[in-house]
Amino acid sequence: MTAARPLRRHSHRSAQHAGSLLTLHGLGALALSAAACAGADSRRPGFDFMGPSTQAMQRDDSQNPAMLWVKDGEALWNTAAGESGKSCASCHGDATASMRGVATRHPAFDPRSGGALTLSQRIAACRTQRQRAPALAPESPALLGLESFVAMQSRGLTIAAPDPRLVRQRERGERLYTERIGQLGLSCAQCHDDNAGQRLAGNSIPQAHPTGYPIYRLEWQGLGSLQRRLRNCMSGVRAEPFAYGAPELVELELYLMARAAGMKVDAPAVRP
């Protein structure tokens, strides 16, 4: 799949500046890790930036709208599909045991491609390759349901340390995070590192740690993946979003998860 390109690219001088930014961000990440070991981790999940009513909605599963997708995902987990006549449970059994910790490790290394696969892509591949069932479209209710059901099994667990086999992909994701794009010429880092805690359109700017995806977003009135949120941000700075599943989005997601290593999963989260 060929990814769409941002509308605005760096000049050679900007590229040199981006390299300096990456060095600084790399040093900052090391300092952050050291601080975390010392008990002074300054990272905060998106939950901490939400208002009391949104936090209350996420805390109470009976009030969290995302649980509707989780329940649908649980039903799909136990439903036979495709030519194999098998369900997810036929191979993986009880999800509360077999899927515990899975979301903490994705995007994960894929031996077939030598690259990274997101949790959503892993589920979609299992459906077509193992169940031999029709593919589920990105952001479809069925795929979001299964992803949210699987992700919830890791609630309260810490995001795993980065896989050393994916260091190049992670570095490319970091470059995307610090690159100015679109007609507004903004990067992810400018909002979520430099201005975290400030307000934009009436909402607090979080630090962009993807601990709760898929999320129910009040603005969407529905559940959405991290890639949907990234594409929204790209549109917001007037850049052409990459297609769902594009390598650039996978690598950016990989970097964001590595950046959040050690933080606790709180999926499915609620956001404004």
CATH number of the domain where residue 212 is located: 1.10.760.10
Are residues 162 and 208 located together in one domain of the fold?
Answer: yes
Are residues 93 and 112 located together in one domain of the fold?
Answer: yes
Are residues 163 and 120 located together in one domain of the fold?
Answer: no
Are residues 205 and 227 located together in one domain of the fold?
Answer: yes
Residue 15 lies in a domain: no
Q: What is the structure's pLDDT at 16?
A: 42
Are residues 208 and 235 located together in one domain of the fold?
Answer: yes
Are residues 261 and 166 located together in one domain of the fold?
Answer: yes
CA dist 7 and 185 (Å) reads 9
Are residues 143 and 236 located together in one domain of the fold?
Answer: no
Q: Which of 152, 185, 205 finishes a domain? A: 152
Are residues 196 and 264 located together in one domain of the fold?
Answer: yes
Among the residues of 181-236, which ranges form H helices? 188-192, 226-236
**pTM (2 decimals)?**
0.85
Are residues 82 and 206 located together in one domain of the fold?
Answer: no
Are residues 138 and 225 located together in one domain of the fold?
Answer: no
CA dist 94 and 82 (Å) reads 20
CA dist 37 and 56 (Å) reads 30
Residues of the chain with pLDDT under 70: 1-39
**Can you give the residue range of the structural domain that contains 91?**
67-152
Q: Which of 152, 183, 199 finishes a domain? A: 152
Which tens digit of pLDDT belongs to each residue from 86-103?
999 999 999 999 999 999
Q: What is the structure's pLDDT at 1?
A: 39
Q: What is the structure's pLDDT at 40?
A: 83
Number of domains composing the chain: 2
Give me the sign of the Cα torsion angle 149, 155, 158, 159.
positive
Residues 74 and 149: beta-carbon distance below 8 Å: yes
Which tens digit of pLDDT belongs to each residue from 223-239?
999 999 999 999 999 99
Among the residues of 108-246, which ranges form H helices? 119-129, 141-152, 167-178, 188-192, 226-236
Q: What is the structure's pLDDT at 230?
A: 98
CA dist 63 and 191 (Å) reads 30
Are residues 172 and 48 located together in one domain of the fold?
Answer: yes
Active site residues: 233
Q: Which of 152, 168, 192 finishes a domain? A: 152
Backbone angles phi, psi at 148, to 5 degrees: -70, -35
Q: What is the structure's pLDDT at 18?
A: 42
Are residues 174 and 76 located together in one domain of the fold?
Answer: no
